[in-house]
Structure 1
Amino acid sequence: MHRLFLCEKPSQAKDIAKVLGANRRGDGCWLGSDVTVTWCIGHLLETAPPDAYDPRYKRWVLADLPIVPEHWKMRVKAKTASQFKAVKRLLGEARELVIATDADREGEMIARELVEHCRYRGPIQRLWLSALDDTSIRKALAALKPGAETFSLYHSALGRSRADWLIGMNMSRLFTLLGRQSGYQGVLPVGRVQTPTLRLVVDRDRSIADFVPVAYWAIEVALLADGSSFNAQWRVPEDACDEQGRCLNPALAQQAAAAIGNAASARVVKLRTERMGEAPPLPFDLGTLQEVCSKKLGLGAQETLDIAQALYETHKLITYPRSDCGYLPLSQHGEAPAILQALGRGDPGLAELLPHLDAQRRSRAWNDGKVSAHHGIIPTAAALSLDRLVGKQRAVYALIRARYLAQFLPNHEYDRSQADFTCAGQALRAVGKVIVESGWRRALPEALTPGKGRETQPAQPLPALREGQDCAVAGVTLKDLWTQPPKPFTEGDLIKAMKNVAKLVDDPRLKQKLKDTTGIGTEATRAGIIQGLLDRGYLRKQGKALAATPAAFSLIDAVPRAIADPGTTAIWEQALDMVQSGEMSLEEFVGKQSAWMSKQVQRCVSLRISISAPASPAAAAPWKKKRKTAPRKASASKGSAAGKRAAKPTSRT
């Protein structure tokens, strides 16, 4: 056999084999002339458990901790052993290997761990795919990378895997054993990523529970000018408002409302109109797609990923979905005319939009300097009739397509007018907005248009005003309002918080370090982390919102703060980026992780903890076979119940 292509999944292998002309089915492979295409089924190997290093580790004993392997071992996964056997045989026969797994660090590890385990020593090339339609596959085949160019991705993924093992195996054993000392008989899973993620929700729920609403007052004034009505807002005197410009003094607000109500008119004292422009939002990265789908479509993070993966693998309609980047390479701009034509053919509903598109337009999205290993998620030229897509798949595809189409439309432009008034000694302000050019918003349905939250009042057109003009006072409304607590996390909000963890860190030096990191977890793993916490009963859903269960509160209170600190996890991700770039060796990274973890074990071994039972039976006994039964109902946590009460708007009129 001359050349072997090693893919990540059977479906991916079938697509590549078809382009290569490898049409004969073999044992765990597709066969062609001097080429064979085989596949993994995710990871065919896994890191060996502690008892593979010493049989005594089958029993969980505090005295055996920490467990730090001197020489790391891998073992074949039992469920996919037959495919491993086929891949091992094919690697032994190959003269040249082309790694064709997913183009990310996890995909690199899936292939490289097999190369190492099976002792393949031949030449290696890398197929770097961003889409699975025939055109994209042919383009990638014509531009194979040297294997050495992506090898550092493997060490980064291996570092991540070993760090997860060290923290998971040691800290989970430690806290499970400490829990047993206090009478709790279940397993307490502690993870490098899942525990800090859980703390984000626990902290948010506590801030909701501890929130004390504060009453404030606002005044809305209806004004008339030349037969047109519009609204203005009372501006609280600087010496009588809080940091957000709100009036906390009811007597002052009532006095101002009475004075304005008794006035016949308000005079324009200052008028300003400014032309504003908004560039189109970038194409989606996975995290942003999950955030928008959660907010606008009510989809969970894992559900969004599964749909995007199907659009990529099964339908070939979008590019690689597990991207952490929304920018596009300049070289990709040349494919725009063909993609736009294909999108128009696939959906007659775009007929009104197509004349406004300019395939030569180059938005800020096209920027080689901003593109990471992957570019933004965009449609491919393999567009098909949308009738073949239904329900949620169609909705997610429409979102991805709309973001791409927006790149070929002008900026959204509007005139923002601000009119300041004086009325009975009180200051009023009216803000108006008139759209001049719809621009890229033509591509996005109004409900899905991103808002920046800069305006506190809904957009209204102002009539033609002039300084010195008097406008009649048509009505006055005194509003009795309450400050609102933080909102509970949705899955989309939590994904965003995991990405932008620097905003949640108080230490200014650490905050600066974290600004350019990948945050907690990666685009490919965040949805699975959240789903795992739901499955284990540490989180539960209340409509779209996520709530921590009592077990989550007690677990976060028990583990060392450093392990649950999102900043610590983000620093580890930053170190993994250094491994990928060659600034730190794999051995140095794992050595630091081992030393840090060992120190945490020593500090915690004498702790006394109290743990509430998780909400799911599976969490208490994860070694037992899962049954398809409904989870038991858990009592509401203090944070969730109090937050629910505080979140209801209240009026005291």
Structure 2
Amino acid sequence: MQVYLCEKPSQGKDIARILGASQRGPGCFNGQGVTVTWCIGHLVEAAPPESYGEQYKRWSLEQLPIIPQRWQVDVKPNTAAQFKIVKALLAKARELVIATDADREGEMIARELVELCAYRGPIKRLWLSALNDASIRKALGALRESNETLLMYHSALARSRADWLIGMNLSRLFTVLGRQAGYDGVLSVGRVQTPTLRLVVDRDREIARFVSVPFWIVDVSLSQAVQSFATSWLPPEGQADTEGRCLNQTAAHIASDRIRAGGMAQVTSVSTERVREAAPLPFDLGTLQEVCSRRFGMDVQETLDIAQGLYETHKATTYPRSDCGYLPESMFAEVPTVLAALVATEPSLRPVIDILDLSLRSRAWNDGKVTAHHGIIPTLEPANLAAMSEKEQAVYRLIRAHFLAQFLPHHEYDRTVVMFTCAGEALRATGKQVVVHGWHQVLTEVPADDAEGDAPQRSQVLPQMSEGSQCRVEQVELKAMRTQPPRAYTQGELVKAMKTVAKLVSDPRLKQTLKDTTGIGTEATRASIIKGLLGRGYLITKGRAVRASDAAFTLIDAVPAAIADPGTTAIWEQALDMIEAGTLTLDAFVMKQSAWVTQLVQQYSGIQLTIKIPQGPVCPICGAATRQRSGKTGPFWSCARYPECKGTIAIEAKRSAPRKSKRGTPRNSG
């Protein structure tokens, strides 16, 4: 009997249909000589410390470090019945086909069962990038050998064991030290979660330390013939900061009066450059989460759930947990089929399809840059838009637009900068004249960096001017502004910071090392990391922003700098990639992690933490002080006399202030 082991029941149902396994059995589908079963995610989990000895039930410094000599796993109680089914099927199997998700975690979900059930028969690997019928049939005809993906399991196992060593040992270490210092909560430490939390804590401290500085701008409206356009005054050297903002109110007043009195401005130079913008790549998951956060206000877990639904339920898009936006060159031959499916899905799309140039090969088609997965694109078969929710349709159309953009020319425009002089003062106007709309015909999103600042000037069309031309001064407006602090992270921006952590690392050697790594976490785990931090009360949402709680500041101040350093965990991710590539062994990696954890425990066991214990409002029952604690629904204030007094107060999150322009905000703006 050939057994197909899937990750979820829905995947099993899709694959069973193609294999002709239509007879439903307990936890499986049966056919002629073939059975399809599933795992429901991880059926087993790493055993907790107490499984290695009764002494570990009590949290104490004397029991640390906990370094398993022989790693154990436990069957999850809520899926034990399905585990028994899988174990029985593996005992009868003559061949196993692993059909879990095509990623590191999917490999581990299957291989950990192979190990625990002592299956020793032949293994094949079904590698799926989409769950539509055509993709399943294609993958079934190209099963991979077991050894092609075995090292992915070793990499996932290394990640799991490193997380266990750091999480179990350091969470216990710093929680016990925290209790000695009077902190009642759990100081949860994680290989990925703690550096992620550090990003938010650092940003919040940067905001808190920010000192707003007044500056002044002079906006001048000029006209030539009947056309008006906007210009800005350029403060002279010595009157401006490094970003060109005038910090001298008197100088700005004098300049505005001079320009107003001057009446005419003369062109001193005109420069025009042709700008060609290539279409953005198809989405990887992180970029999709970032864009959906910015455009639709979705949190990162919601975006992942929607993308998973488009892949798994609607069969409308390819595998979502991809870290790559590039596409295999072999898939170029499938483009006409994909486009036909898009028209069948939404016939009103026909005019857009007709303007595409299928001879174009954008930079997206590049075998050299495709990783284990390719960019998220529409599948080969029509989808049912009516079955999708409004948000699912929005994300689907966004993914579709990024795919269609690959078959349109570059977006081209002329960027013109004109310099003027008026009564001895310098002015500058910037204009944009679109020459070729190109891929903007299907995708018009403005990048985040272009959405603020002097965007009106960048988008205006200037009249024809040449050196020496005269323009009339129509209006002069002096504005008092104040510099604004950095914005708090949104969930999408936090995911981007996790991906591009190299930009936040100051050490030049480490920065170079990090440039080609995946950053903090993976595409598959970043959403769950943020969700976990929110659930533990370390992060708090305020409108779209995520802010650090008092407990977060306490934790980051308590743990070793290396644990909270984003660069450290990115280096670990690079080591996991090395295991997958076969240049580092699982045992060598775990041995190094064990030695490092042992060193940290020895170094910090004898110290006394200085912890700022968050103090809240007085207890509504007894009037005593309250302390922040974490519950199932997040953080709350609890009476310091608990359990004698069980008074609590909810913590209400305030909505964040509206987003401000990087340029500044008028003092009297609402």
Is the 2:483–2:663 contact (alpha carbons within 8 Å) kept by the matching residues of 1?
no
In structure 2, relative to structure 1, the CA distance for the partners of 1:254 and 1:377 (3 Å cut) is same
Is the 1:413–1:436 contact (alpha carbons within 8 Å) kept by the matching residues of 2?
yes
Residue equivalent to 1:26: 25
Per-residue deviation at 1:357? 1.2
Give the secondary-structure state (helix, strand or coil) at the position aligned to 1:575.
helix
Asked if 1:296 corresponds to 2:295, the answer is yes
Is the 1:536–1:615 contact (alpha carbons within 8 Å) kept by the matching residues of 2?
no
Q: d(CA) in 2 for partners of 1:418 and 1:554?
A: 50
Per-residue deviation at 1:333? 1.1
Give the secondary-structure state (helix, strand or coil) at the position aligned to 1:240.
coil
Per-residue deviation at 1:67? 0.3
Is the 1:549–1:634 contact (alpha carbons within 8 Å) kept by the matching residues of 2?
no
Q: How many residues align?
A: 637
Residue equivalent to 1:544: 544
Residue equivalent to 1:625: none
Give the secondary-structure state (helix, strand or coil) at the position aligned to 1:98.
strand
Is the 2:222–2:472 contact (alpha carbons within 8 Å) kept by the matching residues of 1?
yes
Give the secondary-structure state (helix, strand or coil) at the position aligned to 2:481.
strand
Residue equivalent to 2:270: 271
Is the 2:541–2:653 contact (alpha carbons within 8 Å) kept by the matching residues of 1?
no
Q: d(CA) in 2 for partners of 1:499 and 1:478?
A: 41
Residue equivalent to 1:256: 255
1:453 pairs, out of 436, 450, 453, with 450
Is the 2:266–2:471 contact (alpha carbons within 8 Å) kept by the matching residues of 1?
yes
**Runs (5+) with no aligned partner, structure 1:** 622-630
Is the 2:284–2:322 contact (alpha carbons within 8 Å) kept by the matching residues of 1?
yes
Alignment of 1:554-593 (within 5 A): 554-593=554-593
Q: d(CA) in 1 for partners of 2:232 and 2:310?
A: 48
Is the 1:22–1:35 contact (alpha carbons within 8 Å) kept by the matching residues of 2?
yes
Q: d(CA) in 2 for partners of 1:385 and 1:429?
A: 52
Residue equivalent to 2:630: 616
Question: Residue type matched to 1:382 in 2?
Answer: E
Q: d(CA) in 1 for partners of 2:393 and 2:342?
A: 14
2:665 pairs, out of 620, 645, 649, with 649
Asked if 1:235 corresponds to 2:228, the answer is no
Per-residue deviation at 1:634? 2.9
Residue equivalent to 1:387: 386
Alignment of 1:143-162 (within 5 A): 143-162=142-161
Asked if 1:328 corresponds to 2:342, the answer is no
> Once the two structures are superposed, what CA deviation does each residue of 1:587-614 show, in whole Å capped at 9, x if it has no partner?
1100111111111111211233334354
Residue equivalent to 1:627: none
> Once the two structures are superposed, what CA deviation does each residue of 1:500-526 show, in whole Å capped at 9, x if it has no partner?
111111111111111111111110011
Per-residue deviation at 1:310? 0.6
Give the secondary-structure state (helix, strand or coil) at the position aligned to 1:589.
helix
Q: d(CA) in 2 for partners of 1:357 and 1:235?
A: 44
Q: d(CA) in 2 for partners of 1:256 and 1:371?
A: 55
Is the 1:485–1:647 contact (alpha carbons within 8 Å) kept by the matching residues of 2?
no
Question: Residue type matched to 1:430 in 2?
Answer: A
> Once the two structures are superposed, what CA deviation does each residue of 1:10-40 show, in whole Å capped at 9, x if it has no partner?
1101101111111111222111111111110
Alignment of 1:14-163 (within 5 A): 14-163=13-162
Q: d(CA) in 1 for partners of 2:138 and 2:67?
A: 45
> Once the two structures are superposed, what CA deviation does each residue of 1:341-395 show, in whole Å capped at 9, x if it has no partner?
1111211332332221122321111111111000000111222342332211111
Alignment of 1:413-428 (within 5 A): 413-428=412-427
Per mean C-alpha deviation after superposition, the further-off stretch among 522-531 and 612-621 is 612-621
Give the secondary-structure state (helix, strand or coil) at the position aligned to 1:288.
helix
Residue equivalent to 1:626: none
In structure 2, relative to structure 1, the CA distance for the partners of 1:417 and 1:553 (3 Å cut) is same
Alignment of 1:311-460 (within 5 A): 311-444=310-443, 446=444, 448-453=445-450, 456-458=454-456, 459-460=459-460
In structure 2, relative to structure 1, the CA distance for the partners of 1:231 and 1:615 (3 Å cut) is farther
Q: d(CA) in 2 for partners of 1:85 and 1:372?
A: 35
Residue equivalent to 2:651: 634
Of structures 1 and 2, the one scoring higher in RCO (CA 8 A, sep 6+) is 1
Question: Residue type matched to 1:236 in 2?
Answer: P
Per-residue deviation at 1:179? 2.2
In structure 2, relative to structure 1, the CA distance for the partners of 1:101 and 1:652 (3 Å cut) is closer
Per-residue deviation at 1:493? 0.5
> Once the two structures are superposed, what CA deviation does each residue of 1:235-287 show, in whole Å capped at 9, x if it has no partner?
22234322112211111111111111101211112112222111111111000
How high is the TM-score relative to the length of structure 1?
Answer: 0.94
Question: Residue type matched to 2:464 in 1?
Answer: A
Give the secondary-structure state (helix, strand or coil) at the position aligned to 2:650.
coil
Question: Residue type matched to 1:581 in 2?
Answer: A
In structure 2, relative to structure 1, the CA distance for the partners of 1:318 and 1:163 (3 Å cut) is same
Per-residue deviation at 1:185? 3.3
Q: d(CA) in 2 for partners of 1:456 and 1:246?
A: 13
Is the 1:405–1:443 contact (alpha carbons within 8 Å) kept by the matching residues of 2?
yes
Residue equivalent to 1:176: 175
Calculate percent identity across the aligned residue pairs: 60
Residue equivalent to 2:624: none
Is the 1:280–1:407 contact (alpha carbons within 8 Å) kept by the matching residues of 2?
yes
In structure 2, relative to structure 1, the CA distance for the partners of 1:614 and 1:351 (3 Å cut) is farther
Is the 2:217–2:233 contact (alpha carbons within 8 Å) kept by the matching residues of 1?
yes
Give the secondary-structure state (helix, strand or coil) at the position aligned to 2:351.
coil
Residue equivalent to 1:628: none
Is the 1:549–1:614 contact (alpha carbons within 8 Å) kept by the matching residues of 2?
no
Question: Residue type matched to 1:633 in 2?
Answer: A
Per-residue deviation at 1:209? 0.5
Residue equivalent to 2:245: 246
Is the 2:185–2:630 contact (alpha carbons within 8 Å) kept by the matching residues of 1?
no
Per-residue deviation at 1:632? 5.2
What is the alpha-carbon root mean square deviation over aligned residues?
Answer: 2.1
Q: d(CA) in 2 for partners of 1:242 and 1:186?
A: 45
Q: d(CA) in 2 for partners of 1:61 and 1:543?
A: 40
Alignment of 1:175-214 (within 5 A): 175-214=174-213
Q: d(CA) in 1 for partners of 2:603 and 2:318?
A: 47
In structure 2, relative to structure 1, the CA distance for the partners of 1:648 and 1:232 (3 Å cut) is closer
Per mean C-alpha deviation after superposition, the further-off stretch among 606-615 and 267-276 is 606-615
Q: d(CA) in 2 for partners of 1:212 and 1:181?
A: 36
Give the secondary-structure state (helix, strand or coil) at the position aligned to 2:450.
coil
Question: Residue type matched to 1:495 in 2?
Answer: V
Give the secondary-structure state (helix, strand or coil) at the position aligned to 1:352.
helix
Question: Residue type matched to 2:111 in 1?
Answer: R
Q: d(CA) in 1 for partners of 2:382 and 2:207?
A: 46
Q: d(CA) in 2 for partners of 1:617 and 1:402?
A: 42
**Runs (5+) with no aligned partner, structure 2:** 615-626, 637-647
